[in-house]
Amino acid sequence: MSQPRIINIISNRNYESRRVFQILKSKLEKSGFVTPDEFSHKAELSICIGGDGAFLRAVHNNKFPQVPFIGINTGHLGFYQEISPEDIDRFIDDYINKRFETFEMSLVEAKVFTDKKNYFLNAVNEIVVRGQKSKVIHLDVFVDGNHLEKFSGDGIIISTPHGSTGYNFSAGGAIIHPRLSAVQINPIAPMSSRAYRSLPNPIVVPGNWTIGVHPEQRYKNGTTIVLDGTEMFYKDIIKINLRISSKKISRISFSSHTYWENLKTKFL
Q: Are residues 26 and 140 in the same domain?
A: no
77 within some domain? yes
Buried b / exposed e along 87-125 (16+ C-beta atoms within 10 A): ebeebbebbeeeebeeeebbbbbbebbbeeeeeebbbbb
Give the Cα separation of 17 and 24 in Å (integer).
Answer: 10
**195 pLDDT tier (thresholds 50, 70, 90):** confident
State whether 119 and 235 are in the same domain: yes
Residues 193 and 127 in one domain: yes
Q: What is the pLDDT of residue 1?
A: 63
Range from 61-70, 223-232, 257-266 carrying the lowest mean pLDDT = 257-266
Question: Which CATH number covers residue 49?
Answer: 3.40.50.10330
State the pairing for strand pair 45-50/5-11. Answer: parallel
Q: What is the pLDDT of residue 81?
A: 85
Tell me the average pLDDT across 1-20: 92
Catalytic residues: 52
Task: Domain of residue 154: give its range.
Answer: 107-247
- Say if residue 90 is in the same domain as residue 135: no
**How does pLDDT run across 146-186, given as a tens digit for each residue?**
999 999 999 999 999 999 999 999 999 999 999 899 999 99
- The answer on 19 and 82 residing in a single domain is yes
Residue 15, strand partner residues: none
